[in-house]
């Protein structure tokens, strides 16, 4: 697990009027291990799900050969104060898998404490793993910490996406939440190749200043970790796809040690940002797998 920022440690000291943090229904867990058979298909070797996570099975409709899809369901009303949810996904050598969610993650308003969504992804030799959850919708006064650790083999590839929708579900002004912190740390063969964070505290600093999101309201990010492929090739391909999209602004940066690229997208509407992130995902797959995203699926 990534280190918890001091500010969230302080939030964690606040007592809850209802069930305590890590209480029943508040400590969701999902674990999965995937391996590829000699015949070429990727199979789920092991999985464990604890409320509010649920997995009904795998899908084998992806156009990429041997790639299986896991769609995580969350049959609750969303993420509440005191929730501590963890996912842990391992793609063994040569496995190909995509993990997504049934819908957006809704982070509800809070009166105390905070919510933590933590994840770990591992990709073995020549494996390909995608973690593409729906957008994170953060409501008024919410405190949400998202941390993700990635560990990949030098021959593997991992794609991760994140879209922040800051105006909630109740028609409030954008960025009415208390604190949102999303962090990704990626290591290749134990060497840190990417450490990136979005840390927004609107009461202390308006995120709409020119140095943060400016005039825009929705923030999208895509990480393409692929040490065996030219980062310049991947960056040029993605930027060429995104640059003509008039409803969003995007930047593409190469990561350290030629290990991949990061993509940041800004827009006014979540649909436009999701479209841009989907286009970047599709372009990355063309380079890495020789086939794009499923035609009927936004990320």
Q: What is the predicted pLDDT for the residue at 263?
A: 97
Q: What is the predicted pLDDT for the residue at 1?
A: 54
Q: What is the predicted pLDDT for the residue at 89?
A: 98
Per-residue burial over 92-122, b = 16 or more CB atoms within 10 Å of its CB, e = otherwise: bebbbbbbbbeebbbbbbbeebbbbbbbbbb
Mean pLDDT by 10 residues, the chain (299 residues): 82 77 72 93 96 91 95 87 95 97 92 95 98 94 96 98 84 85 96 94 91 90 97 96 95 95 95 96 96 78
CA distance 295 to 277: 15
CA distance 239 to 237: 6
- What are the phi and psi torsion angles at 286 (to 5°)? -60, -40
pTM (global) more than 0.85? yes
């Amino acid at each position: 697990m990534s280190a918890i920022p001091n500010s969230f440690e302080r939030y964690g000291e606040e007592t809850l009027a209802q069930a305590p943090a890590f209480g029943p229904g508040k400590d969701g867990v999902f674990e999965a291990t995937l391996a590829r058979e000699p015949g070429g298909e990727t199979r789920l070797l092991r999985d464990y799900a604890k409320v509010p996570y649920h997995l009904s099975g795998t899908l084998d409709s992806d156009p990429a050969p041997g790639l299986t899809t896991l769609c995580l369901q969350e049959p609750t009303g969303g993420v509440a104060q005191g929730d501590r949810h963890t996912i842990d996904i391992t793609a063994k050598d040569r496995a190909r898998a995509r993990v997504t969610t049934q819908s957006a993650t809704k982070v509800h308003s809070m009166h105390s404490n905070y919510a933590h969504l933590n994840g770990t992804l591992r990709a073995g030799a020549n494996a390909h793993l995608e973690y593409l959850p729906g957008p994170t919708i953060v409501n008024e006064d919410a405190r949400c910490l998202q941390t993700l650790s990635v560990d990949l083999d030098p021959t593997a590839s991992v794609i991760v996406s994140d879209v922040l929708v800051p105006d909630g579900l109740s028609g409030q002004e954008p960025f009415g939440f208390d604190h949102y912190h999303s962090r990704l740390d990626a290591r290749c063969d134990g060497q840190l190749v990417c450490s990136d964070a979005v840390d927004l505290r609107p009461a202390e600093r308006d995120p709409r200043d020119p140095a943060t999101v400016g005039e825009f309201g929705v923030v999208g990010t895509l990480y393409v970790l692929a040490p065996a492929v030219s980062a310049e090739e991947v960056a040029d391909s993605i930027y060429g796809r995104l640059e003509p999209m008039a409803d969003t602004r995007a930047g593409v940066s190469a990561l350290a040690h030629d290990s991949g690229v990061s993509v940041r997208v800004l827009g006014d509407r979540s649909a436009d940002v999701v479209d841009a992130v989907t286009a970047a995902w599709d372009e990355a797959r063309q380079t890495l797998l020789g086939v794009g995203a499923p035609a009927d699926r936004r990320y």
